[in-house]
């Protein structure tokens, strides 16, 4: 059975303007790989209602899971939760369970719940909350869309909260062979190796050492550990020759 698939939607003007460097994509990608969920696509869109709705609908229809980051805080530019509700025609408003989660957290910090913070308790009907141990305001899963915060520390805590709920697959086995020559010098044998192992993904990533010499990391990935090992052995023998 093929592994479940996933897409990520990063929401935020600050990423597209270059003000902020996204850190959540890399974090999520690594965790999904460990769980055998294939991340197939990532999109980054602005804090724009139509852009968010269009992307969520399209990705939700195409992949088994969609993970969003960003736009669920208390300010006027936090419009993600509302857009998700609009995308699926779901009722939307302050929910008692989300409000209780906020109150529990704020009781420990002495924070006052005001009108703005209460925005973060607005959750689509039928959605399941995602716990936020860092700052209280929950994320949520609506259907196959998992809505999480953009602040990396909170995003990471929410990924931790949600992982046990997801259906995983077979984690790919991955191994790397470091070759001390440029990609162009081993490209032809690598192509032959890839052709004779259609079940493996063979990636080639050039690097330049501190002394200026070029090298290549060859990453061999596949579901069958024996096949990965056989391909690795073949490549190591070739390089040693």
Q: Return residues touching a second copy (CB under 8 A).
A: 10, 13-22, 25-33, 39-47, 51, 73-77, 111, 114-117, 119-120, 151, 153, 172, 174, 182-185, 187-188, 190-191, 194-195, 201-206, 208, 219, 221
Is there a contact between 110 and 75 (Cβ–Cβ < 8 Å)? no
**Least distance between a second copy and beta carbon 9 (Å):** 10
CA gap 10, 18 in Å, rounded: 14
**Shortest reach from residue 111's CB to a second copy, in Å:** 7
CB of 182 to a second copy, least distance (A): 7
Of 22, 39, 19, nearest to 31 by C-alpha is: 39
In terms of CB distance, is 90 or 163 closer to a second copy?
A: 163
Q: Which is nearer to a second copy, 75 or 240 (CB)?
A: 75
Q: Which is nearer to a second copy, 33 or 90 (CB)?
A: 33
User: What's the min distance (Å) between Cβ of 184 and a second copy?
Assistant: 4
> Which residues make Cβ contacts (< 8 Å) with residue 157, sequence separation at least 6?
131, 132, 133, 134
- Only one residue has tokens 């999109």, namely 43
Q: How far is 166 from 104, CA to CA, in rounded Å?
A: 26
Alpha helices in the chain (DSSP H): 13-16, 24-34, 49-62, 80-88, 96-109, 115-118, 152-162, 183-196, 225-240
Which of 96/195 has CB closer to a second copy?
A: 195
Taking alpha carbons only, the member of 205, 155, 213 closest to residue 181 is: 213
Asked whether 63 and 41 are in contact (CB, 8 A), the reply is yes
Q: How far is the CB of 126 from a second copy (least distance, A)?
A: 26
18 vs 89, which CB is nearer to a second copy? 18
Q: Based on CB atoms, which residue is closest to a second copy, 126 or 213?
A: 213
What are the backbone angles phi and psi of residue 98, rounded to the nearest 5°?
-70, -40
| Of residues 160, 157, 121, 124, the one with CA closest to residue 141 | 124
């Amino acid at each position: 059975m093929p592994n479940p698939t996933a897409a990520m939607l990063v929401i935020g003007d600050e990423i597209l303007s270059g003000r902020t460097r996204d850190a959540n994509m890399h974090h999520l990608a690594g965790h999904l790989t460990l769980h055998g969920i294939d991340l197939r696509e990532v999109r980054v869109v602005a804090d724009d209602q139509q852009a968010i709705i269009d992307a969520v609908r399209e990705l939700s229809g195409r992949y088994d899971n969609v993970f969003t980051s960003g736009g669920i805080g208390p300010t006027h530019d936090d419009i993600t939760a509302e857009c998700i509700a609009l995308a699926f025609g779901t009722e939307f408003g302050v929910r008692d369970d989300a409000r209780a989660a906020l109150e529990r957290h704020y009781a420990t910090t002495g924070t006052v719940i005001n009108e703005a913070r209460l925005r973060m308790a607005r959750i689509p009907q039928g959605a399941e909350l995602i716990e936020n141990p860092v700052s209280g305001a929950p994320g949520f899963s609506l259907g196959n869309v998992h809505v999480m915060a953009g602040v990396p520390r909170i995003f990471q805590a929410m990924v931790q909260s949600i992982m046990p709920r997801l259906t995983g697959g077979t984690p790919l086995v991955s191994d790397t062979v470091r070759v001390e020559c440029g990609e162009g010098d081993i490209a032809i044998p690598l192509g032959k190796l890839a052709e004779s192992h259609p079940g493996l993904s063979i990636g080639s990533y050039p690097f330049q050492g501190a002394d200026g010499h070029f090298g290549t990391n060859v990453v061999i990935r596949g579901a069958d550990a024996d096949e990965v090992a056989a391909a690795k052995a073949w490549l190591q023998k070739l390089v040693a020759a």
